[in-house]
Structure 1
Amino acid sequence: MNSEHFEAARQSEADYHQRFYEDHDLFENGTWMSEPGPVVMEMLERLLLHKEDLMVLDLGCGVGRNTIPVAERLKGSLSKVKGVDLLEDAADKLKSNAAEFGVDHLVEAEAADVEHFAIAEDAYDYILACSCLEHTSSMEALTDTLTAMRKGTKLGGIHCITMSTDVEEVDRKTAKSTEGLIELNIPQKQAMELLDRSYEEWNVLIKQAVPQSIEEEKDGRRIDFRCNLITFVAQKIQ
């Protein structure tokens, strides 16, 4: 991807999410923010079987779809949940949402580009990267981000990754299909191969890809955002 295409994709994605967060409330029915990802909460419970106080990192956190429910579940512990998002407004809304839901003492929010965010080594029990890694700038950046995530994870820690691959946009008015304008649009097979290599020394708990279609308004058009959505969960065992 050349820099011009990347910047166009980055701006398009930023504009879409900015508008979406302005127009919709966290956990609003009928939106993709209506509830946390089920696998996110399932893996949290797995960790809590063995440890009460957790350090959690939510990359691409938005306004808290996963961050807030995770923090709510960890109330009463000495846990900390750090959310990182590209948009300053999203980080600010995460802070206000944390206060509204009574978990601001657990939640820290930071505006940063995930691929340039410094992850401290051996710091986290749980790292979420939900619909996040496809917004890195290149395969090299994606690989480097995965490396930093692995180094930043404690023994026994879990990574929960969801990633859109083979992205296309179908105009709901004309039915015309075009390649999705997203920063890193790679085939499912290529993404899976990278994840397999990256986590070959971990215990892979979930590995699947399913077709997904979401109706969106993007760049002034009503579209179906279609992709093969990967869910990949792995636990550090050595």
Structure 2
Amino acid sequence: MGASEFEQAREAEKDYHAKLYEEQDILKPGSWMAEPLPFAMELLEELLADNPSPVVLDLGSGPGRNAIPIARRLQEAGDGRIVGTDLLEAAVDKLQENAAKFGVADQVRAIRADVEQEAFEAEAYDYVLACGCLEHVSSEEALLRVIRKLQDATRPGGIHGLSMNTNLRETALETGEELPPQIELRLSENRARSLLEQAYEGWDVLLRSGHDVKIEEDKYDGPTEFKARNVVFAARKRGMPRP
């Protein structure tokens, strides 16, 4: 993808998500934000079995679809906390608002960050979650660089939980016309899995799965249907967790 195409896709995604976050509330029926991703909560439980107070990093957290349920669980389990990052200022503001609304403001820190540019503190996190985030980097090389940064930011025994949309298709509902998907990194399912296996060599793989995605969107001049194959991958960093 050229620089101009990348910027066009980035702006389309910003506009779509800003409108979505304004119109839709998390954890309420009516959108794909109605509940957290099951695998994200399952991995959290696996981590809590050994560490009741983990530090979590949720990349591309949006208004808190996953971050708020995770924060509520951390509040129940101990004194863990979660950092939610997003490129959109509107998403950061909404996450802070939702943290207060759901009574977990003490557990949640929301910051604006571009995952490609952000520097992460070494061995600062026990659980790194990236759902629908990594397909918004600029290239395959950038994807691998970001993963390496996140691995360095993870403590021994820590877990990464990733989901990426692949095999992307966007269709105009009124005409049936195929449109170029407005997502920055367009990977096939096989290519995404190959890159993840390469990146996590030396880690213990916990989960490999996938499912089909179909969402009606309003990203162009008219309504569209977004279809993808969602790739889910999780791995644990080898080594003994900190006491």
TM-score (norm 2): 0.95
Name whichever of 22-31 and 157-166 sits farther off: 22-31
Equivalent residue runs for 1:1-238 within 5 Å: 1-75=1-75, 77-238=78-239
CA shift, 1:215, in A, is 1.2
Structure 1 gaps, min length 5: none
Structure 2 counterpart of 1:85, one-letter code: D
Q: For each residue in 1:71-121, what CA deviation from the matched residue of structure 2 results, as whole angstroms up to 9, or x when unmatched?
A: 000115221100000000110110111011111111000011111111111
Q: What is the aligned-residue RMSD (CA, Å)?
A: 1.0
Counterpart AA for 2:142: A
In 2: Cα distance, 1:181 partner to 1:64 partner = 23
The 3-state SS of whatever aligns with 1:232 is strand
Distance 1:84 1:219 in 2: 26
SS of 1:74's equivalent?
helix
Q: Distance in 2 between matches of 1:82 and 1:59?
A: 8
1:147-196 superposed Cα distances (whole Å, 9 cap, x missing partner):
01111111111111000112110111111223312111111111111100
The 1:80–1:59 alpha-carbon spacing in structure 2 relative to 1, beyond 3 Å, is same
- State the 1:237 CA deviation: 1.6
Deviates further, 71-80 or 38-47:
71-80
| Count of residue correspondences | 238
Q: Whole-Å Cα distance in 2 between the matches of residues 208 and 154 of structure 1?
A: 24
d(CA) in 2 for partners of 1:230, 1:206: 10
Sequence identity percentage: 44
**C-alpha distance in 2 between matches for 1:149 and 1:34:** 28
Amino acid corresponding to residue 72 of structure 1 in structure 2 = R
* Mean Cα deviation higher: 64-73 or 209-218: 209-218
In structure 1, C-alpha distance between the alignment counterparts of 2:8 and 2:227, rounded to whole Å: 19
How far has the Cα of 1:128 moved from its partner? Answer: 0.4
Greater mean alpha carbon deviation, residues 15-24 or residues 210-219: 210-219
Runs of 4+, deviation exceeding 4 Å: none
Q: Following TM superposition, by how much is the alpha carbon of 1:30 offset from its aligned partner in structure 2, in angstroms?
A: 2.0
